[in-house]
C-alpha cells in the first residue's frame, strides 16, 4: 500500500531502495535485485550517473546502436542512435546505403538564433512603456555584461531585445523578446541567466523612471524563461536523384515509385492524422541521435511539433517534388543543439558518440540530426508504398517477441529461419513456437 515519506531525498540510495521495495513490492528480493543489477560496478562512474538527477535508485538502459554509410555534404559518418524501437537503426542504415549510391545527403544550417522571453504585466499607457523601453534597452545589455562577456568573446551573445505588446491575446500582457547566439552550447543556462538579469534591471529602472506615472511603475514580472520554440534555428536536409534511379528492381519503376512517394507526402501535408505518424517517424531518427549525443530530446520534440503547426494546422515536416526528371526530398526543422556543456562533457557514452561523429560543432550536429530524421522518413515511406510497413518492422521485432515467450537460443535460430518467408505477428510466432516445442517434446 502506498504511503507518504518525509526526508526521502536525504536517504542513501540503498535506503531509498529499501523503502521502495517495502512499500510497493512487499519486500520482494526480485525487485531489489533488478534495481541493483543495473548499477555500474565502477563506483566512480556510478556516482557520476547518480549525480545527474535527484533520488537516483538505478540506471535505465537503452540500446546504443550505429547506422553506418551516411554521406553528408561529401563526408562519411557512422551515426550513433540511442533508441528502444525495433527497425529504426536498420531503416536508417538502409536509407543511408540507398542514398550513398545516389550522391548522399546535403544539409545546410539556415540560421542559429535562439529565443528567450521576460513575461510581464503592465497596466498603463502603451506609449509610456515604449518610451521607457527605448531608454532602458542599453542598460539591460550593459547590466548583463558579466554574464555575456565569455560568450561574446567566442562570437555569441545577445543579438537583440524587443518589446512586444501581447495585450490583444491577454490583458496587460507584454514581453521582452530576446534573441541569442550561443554557438556550440545549447545555452539554456546562459539564456535563462541573462533573462533573469534583464527582468531585475527592467523592474529596478521602472521604479525610478520619470516618464511613468506612479501606478505605471508597478510592472509585474511574471517569469523569465527561454523558449524551446526556435523557428529561427533552422537546418535543411535533402536528397535528390534522377527519377529512374528510384526503381526497385523489377517490382516498381522509378516513375511509379516517385508518383506514389509524392502522393504519400501530399497526404501527410493535408491530413493531420497521417502527419502526426509521418512526423513521428522523422523523430525516430532525430530523437535517437539527440539522445545519444546528450541533448534535450523533449525540447526538440516540443519545438519541432510546434513548427509543424506554424501555418495553422499540423502538417508534414518533409516535402517532395519532381522537376525536370529529378526527384527531390527535403525538410527544414528547428534544432537547438549543443556539443559543449551539459552531459556532453560528463557522460562517457556521449563523449564517445561525439568523437564517433568527428567532434562536430553545433551546426554540424544540426545537419547530422536532420539527415537522420530525413533518412528515417524516407525509409518509412519507401516501405509504405512498396512492401508495407509491417514486413520489415515485424521481422526486426521477431526477436523481441521470442524473448517475451522466453525462447531459448535453439528455438530462436529455427524460428528466425522459418519467418524469413512467413509473415511475423504475435499470434503467428506464438503458434510456431508452440508447434516447435510439441515436436521437440515428441
Q: For residue range 81-111, list pLDDT tens digits in order.
A: 999 988 899 999 999 999 999 999 999 999 9
pLDDT per residue over 160-177, tens digit each? 999 999 999 999 999 999
φ/ψ region of 103 (left if φ > 0, alpha if ψ in -120 to 50, else beta) reads left
- Residue of 140, 115, 138 whose CA lies nearest to 199: 140
CA gap 55, 14 in Å, rounded? 11
Catalytic member of 85, 216, 332, 411: 85
pLDDT at 120: 98
Phi (first) and psi of residue 7, to 5 degrees? 70, 25
In words, the CATH class of domain 114-227 is: alpha beta
CB 239 within 8 A of CB 328: yes
Indicate if the alpha-carbon torsion angle 368, 371, 373, 375 is positive or negative: negative
Is 75 a catalytic site residue? no
Helices (H), 208-347: 254-270, 272-292, 297-307
Confidence of residue 313 (pLDDT cuts 50, 70, 90): very high
Is 85 a catalytic site residue? yes
pLDDT at 404: 84
Q: Is the per-residue pLDDT at 56 higher than 60?
A: yes
Q: Is the per-residue pLDDT at 389 higher than 70?
A: no
Rounded mean pLDDT, 23-28: 88
CB 234 within 8 A of CB 333: yes
Is 296 a catalytic site residue? yes
CB 429 within 8 A of CB 405: yes
Distances (CA, A) of 250 to 246, 287, 386: 11, 35, 12
Catalytic member of 16, 106, 119, 393: 393
Confidence of residue 396 (pLDDT cuts 50, 70, 90): low
pLDDT at 145: 97
Point out which residues pair with 66 in neighbouring strands. Answer: 80
Q: Is the per-residue pLDDT at 439 higher than 70?
A: yes
Specify the long-range contacts of residues 380-388, CB closer than 8 Å, at least 24 apart. 380/91, 380/278, 380/281, 381/261, 381/264, 381/265, 382/95, 382/98, 382/261, 383/91, 384/264, 385/257, 385/260, 385/261, 385/264, 386/248, 386/251, 386/252, 386/257
Is domain 65-105+237-387 annotated with CATH 3.40.50.2000?
A: no
Neighbours of 227 (CB within 10 A): 18
Q: Is the per-residue pLDDT at 429 higher than 90?
A: no
Catalytic member of 280, 305, 319, 412: 280
Which DSSP string corresponds to 51-106? TTSSS--------EEEEEEEEETTEEEEEEEE--STTHHHHHHHHHHHHHTTT-BE
Q: What is the mean pLDDT of the chain?
A: 93
Is 43 a catalytic site residue? no
Catalytic member of 296, 347, 364, 397: 296
Top-ranked range on mean pLDDT: pick from 67-76, 246-255, 404-413: 67-76
Specify the long-range contacts of residues 125-134, CB closer than 8 Å, at least 24 apart. 125/216, 126/165, 126/167, 128/211, 128/212, 128/213, 128/216, 129/163, 129/174, 129/216, 130/163, 131/211, 132/205, 132/206, 132/209, 132/211, 132/212, 133/163
Q: Is the per-residue pLDDT at 78 higher than 90?
A: yes
pLDDT per residue over 336-383, tens digit each? 999 998 888 889 999 999 999 999 999 999 999 999 999 999 999 999
70-361-46 Cα angle (round to 5): 90
Q: Which set of grid coordinates corresponds to residue 291?
A: 539522445
Amino acid at each position: 500500500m502506498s504511503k507518504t515519506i518525509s526526508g526521502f531525498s536525504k536517504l542513501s540510495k540503498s535506503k531509498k531502495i529499501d523503502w521502495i521495495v517495502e512499500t510497493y513490492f512487499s519486500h520482494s528480493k526480485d525487485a531489489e535485485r533488478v534495481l541493483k543489477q543495473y548499477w555500474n560496478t565502477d563506483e566512480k562512474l556510478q556516482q557520476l550517473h547518480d549525480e545527474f538527477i535527484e533520488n537516483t535508485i538505478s540506471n535505465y538502459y537503452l540500446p546504443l546502436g550505429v547506422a553506418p554509410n551516411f554521406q553528408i555534404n561529401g563526408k562519411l559518418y557512422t551515426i550513433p542512435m540511442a533508441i528502444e524501437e525495433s527497425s529504426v537503426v536498420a531503416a536508417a542504415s538502409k536509407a543511408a546505403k540507398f542514398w550513398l549510391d545516389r550522391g548522399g545527403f546535403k544539409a545546410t544550417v539556415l540560421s542559429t538564433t535562439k529565443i528567450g522571453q521576460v513575461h510581464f504585466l503592465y497596466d498603463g499607457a502603451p506609449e509610456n512603456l515604449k518610451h521607457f523601453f527605448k531608454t532602458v534597452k542599453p542598460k539591460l545589455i550593459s547590466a548583463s555584461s558579466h554574464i555575456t562577456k565569455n560568450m561574446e568573446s567566442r562570437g555569441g551573445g545577445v543579438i537583440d531585445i524587443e518589446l512586444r505588446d501581447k495585450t490583444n491575446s491577454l490583458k496587460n500582457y507584454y514581453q521582452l523578446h530576446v534573441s541569442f547566439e550561443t554557438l556550440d552550447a545549447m545555452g539554456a543556462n546562459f539564456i535563462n541567466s541573462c533573462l533573469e538579469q534583464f527582468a531585475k534591471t527592467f523592474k529596478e529602472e521602472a521604479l525610478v523612471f520619470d516618464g511613468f506615472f506612479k501606478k505605471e511603475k508597478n510592472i509585474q514580472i511574471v517569469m523569465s524563461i527561454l523558449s524551446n520554440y526556435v523557428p529561427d534555428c533552422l537546418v535543411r536536409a535533402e536528397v535528390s536523384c534522377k527519377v529512374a534511379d528510384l526503381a526497385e528492381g523489377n517490382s516498381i519503376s522509378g516513375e511509379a515509385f516517385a508518383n506514389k512517394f509524392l502522393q504519400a507526402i501530399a497526404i501527410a501535408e493535408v491530413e493531420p492524422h497521417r502527419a502526426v505518424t509521418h512526423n513521428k517517424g522523422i523523430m525516430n531518427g532525430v530523437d535517437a541521435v539527440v539522445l545519444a549525443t546528450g541533448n534535450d530530446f523533449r525540447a526538440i520534440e516540443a519545438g519541432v511539433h510546434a513548427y509543424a503547426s506554424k501555418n495553422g494546422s499540423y502538417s508534414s515536416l518533409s516535402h517532395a517534388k519532381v522537376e525536370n526528371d529529378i526527384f527531390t526530398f527535403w525538410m527544414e526543422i528547428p534544432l537547438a543543439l549543443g556539443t559543449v556543456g551539459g552531459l556532453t562533457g560528463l557522460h562517457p557514452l556521449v563523449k564517445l558518440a561525439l568523437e564517433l561523429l568527428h567532434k562536430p560543432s553545433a551546426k554540424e550536429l544540426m545537419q547530422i540530426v536532420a539527415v537522420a530524421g530525413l533518412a528515417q522518413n524516407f525509409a518509412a515511406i519507401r516501405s509504405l508504398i512498396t512492401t508495407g510497413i509491417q514486413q520489415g518492422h515485424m521481422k526486426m521485432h521477431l526477436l523481441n517477441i521470442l524473448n517475451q515467450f522466453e525462447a531459448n537460443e535453439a528455438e530462436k535460430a529455427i524460428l528466425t529461419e522459418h519467418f524469413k518467408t512467413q509473415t511475423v505477428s504475435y499470434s503467428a510466432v506464438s503458434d510456431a513456437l508452440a508447434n516447435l516445442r510439441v515436436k521437440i517434446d515428441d
